Amino acid sequence: MSTSGDTHFREAIGLLQAGRLEDAERRFKKVLRQQPKNIAALNLLSVVLSQLKRYAEVEGYIKSALQLDASSDATFYNYGIALKALNRPKEALQRFNEALALNPSIAETWNNCGTVLNDLKRYEDAIEKFDKAIGLRRDYAEAIYNRGNALTGLRRHDEALAAYDAALALKPDFAEVWLGRGQVFSDMKRDLDARNAYRRAIALKPDLAEALSALAGLSLLDGNISEALDLSRRALALNESPETKAVVAACLQSPLLLLHPSIGDLRPILLRAVSEAWARPSTLAPACAHFVVLNEAIRNGMAKLADPKFRSLPAAELVGSSGIAGYAEDPLLRAALEATPVSNAALERFVTELRFVLLTATRIAGSGAVPNSVLALYSAVARQCFINSYVFAQSDAEIEQVQALRDALTAKLASGAAVPALSLLAVAAYAPLHMLPGVESVLSRRWPDSVDAVLTQQVRDCFEEQRLRSSMPALTPIEDDVSIKVRSHYEEHPYPQWLKTDPVGEPTTIDAFMHEMFPASPFVETGDNGGVDILVAGCGTGRQSIYIAKRFNDAQVLAIDLSLTSLCYAQRQARALGMNNIRYAQANIMKLSSIGRSFDVIESSGVLHHLADPFAGWRELLALLKPGGVMQLGFYSELARQDIVAVRDFIAERGYQPHADDIRRCRQELLACEDGTPFKNVTLTVDFFSLSDCRDLLFHAQEHRLTLPQIAAFLSDNDLQFLGFDIDAVTSRNYARRFPADVAMTDLAQWHQYETENPYTFIQMYQFWIQRK
């Protein structure tokens, strides 16, 4: 006898077959209310939810089905599909294998098992699964295509193209196959063929975001910034993934963007990129500075505040004529100020004058309430000043006014009197608030959100870092003069002062990472499938240690540094991010042999060149590297830093000292130099616009610069394999065109020739990976 549950079940199946997924979902749920142990309904509901891409809801229904009956391969298959979509590939692989153990005759299960193995970069294993699927279904175009993807991952390009051709013979309108062909051609440096393949994919499937992003990357390489932006934004609109955001961010970082007058208003997309950290915010700062002036009120404000007579106006007239109300609500200006040091001289002058307006406003604050938008901008100015370590120039008159304001504020705090928000922000814009006596009392008071954010930055976070000092372990003594001198530098000015982590892809293995970074290099696989021990030697404030801890599966990281201040900054940031796989400790690289440990990966970027003997430090680290282990290093280039060497000589001649006041004065002198001179060139770097970064760039007490022949000799003497430089795509392509025979891009003699011809190639550093043979 048919029940109402049976009727609803048949209706649900009919709705599913008709594609009415939401109605089918409601019917299946109605069946389950009446028949909670209906396995077929549980399985079919999971299918419906998968088609609706609500994968997180699928798992509960499948688990219920498995508790009732674990003998259905379809249940395990559906579970694998959901887990794959939830980016849990290892678990998905287990479920597909369970499905195959129950029923090995389903080609789709073999195919999906192979795609998960592709995701895990286990390409050889994936090919075995695809071969099984194709053996069951000779016309299985999707499996043949996926097999081509595995061959692409193995860089067996000709075989991959043959597989793609076979898939197209079965399914001529298969857009993803053309995407795969494009990726092969890109790997082979056949850019025109790659571009044509991507265009064919887009013609067949206009919403294929991966093809749009790939074509955008090629357009960016070709210098067609307008097309690259258009394609990347179309991809982003279709699929907001880390990959599509990264391509948009790459366009926004391009210097070409600033040279293209008809590019349009990019402020909304820039605002998102900066606020959501699609890339390191400092790399987006030039674009922010360029586009923020599209706001006419800001342009007018910059002109008014740049007038030499502006500061001589009476206080009320000065604040009133600043025009601040007209641009206080500009979200890009505020976001940029809160995220990263401004890296534009004109914008720096503007914000310097805004700070003076804020200071002046404290003298007339009793005349009325400050609009929330203006208060938010003043708060952003205070946060900017803290971020850039108070690099802005200060006049003697300002210093006197700030000291008077600071004394008045200290008295109010001691008496428990009300503290004006403007006074608090003005002091915060000239010196960190945590140094203000009694400032902890303001934390319990209610403040507007923008002011409270300043208190978190300059008081709560700093107090937490101070508390962490007593519990930071010390692994080695720090005794030699150079180490003590370098430690003192970073105690005073920890570097870098970062706020948001760099974007990180999905965690991966060392082997997969190295193959992706250097596909043609002579890297020898470590056999790592997770559980790697990593040393970050010279972690500074922790940005790189957090990145590397997120990047690798089951990573356990020891991060050491000379500076306790830097380590406490790093520890606070790691705790805020919920990172529990990093151990921070104070130690001297030259004494690390005493800790009795070895590591699979060692990272030491921008550190060894500050030792008394960089090569001695390198040898110390090599003694801790396991056989077959890999190491990432960063050294200053002698060729690339000639402008900086010239400025360091200038600093020595002028007698400037590595103190805040002297660094500020030196910067102003350098900014006044003629364009195109070595001195002015230095002011174009991002590091110039933060006091701590500028000290690291120009005033470091201990600096060595190396050449590629020196590095090559050390590698040879120590039986080390050079794996490749971590460089941008444009440099990579230009080198490949200059030296096409060096497919692996590992010939340091040819790289030395390339750098000689292009001396600013390694203006940041030589960043490279090596492997211990």
Using CA atoms, how far residue 419 sits from 244, 413, 511, 534, in Å, is 46, 7, 57, 48
**Residue 618, SS3?**
helix
Which contiguous run of DSSP H or E holds residue 207?
Answer: none
Question: Environment class of residue 758 by beta-carbon count within 10 Å: exposed (0-12), middle (13-18) or buried (19+)?
Answer: middle
Mean pLDDT of the region 327-341 = 95
pLDDT bucket at 70, cuts 50 / 70 / 90:
confident
Q: Is the pLDDT of residue 5 over 80?
A: no
First and final CA of the chain: distance in angstroms? 75
Q: Which amino acid is at 700?
A: H
Strands 556-561 and 533-537: parallel
**What are phi and psi for residue 446, nearest 5 degrees?**
-90, 135
Other C-beta atoms within 10 Å of 442: how many?
Answer: 20
pTM for the full predicted model: 0.90
pLDDT reported for residue 1: 40
Name which of 46-55, 597-606, 687-696 the model is least confident about.
46-55
Q: Would you tell me the crossing angle of helices 191-204 and 209-221 to the nearest 10 degrees? A: 150
Give per-residue pLDDT as tens, 366-395: 556 789 999 999 999 999 999 999 999 999
Closest listed residue to residue 93, CA positions, set 102, 80, 104:
80
Closest listed residue to residue 749, CA positions, set 705, 709, 721:
709
Q: Is the pLDDT of residue 754 over 80?
A: yes
pLDDT reported for residue 351: 96
Q: Among all chains, which residue has been given the structure tokens 């993803």?
A: 176
pLDDT reported for residue 19: 87
Percent of the chain past pLDDT 90, that is, above it, reads: 79
Give per-residue pLDDT as tens, 130-141: 999 999 999 999
**Residue 120, SS3?**
coil
pLDDT reported for residue 504: 87
Q: Which amino acid is at 472?
A: M
CA distance 145 to 130: 9
Name which of 235-244, 497-506, 631-640, 645-654 the model is least confident about.
497-506
pLDDT reported for residue 206: 97
Chain center to CA of 556: 20
pLDDT reported for residue 529: 64
pLDDT reported for residue 58: 81
Percent of the chain past pLDDT 70, that is, above it, reads: 98
pLDDT reported for residue 366: 59
pLDDT reported for residue 420: 92
pLDDT reported for residue 756: 98
Higher pLDDT, 26 or 269: 269
Mean pLDDT of the region 116-124 = 92
Do the Cβ atoms of 768 and 744 come closer than 8 Å?
no
Strands 599-605 and 533-537: parallel
Higher pLDDT, 262 or 216: 216
pLDDT reported for residue 55: 84
CA distance 248 to 251: 5
Across the chain, mean pLDDT equals 93
Give per-residue pLDDT as tens, 176-196: 999 999 999 999 989 999 999
Which DSSP string corresponds to 560-598? Answer: EES-HHHHHHHHHHHHHTT--SEEEEE--GGGGGGG---
pLDDT reported for residue 65: 82
Give per-residue pLDDT as tens, 242-300: 999 999 999 999 988 887 777 888 999 999 999 999 999 999 999 999 999 889 999 99
Starting at the earlier edge strand, list the strands of the sheet with 720-725. 582-586, 556-561, 533-537, 599-605, 625-635, 766-772, 720-725
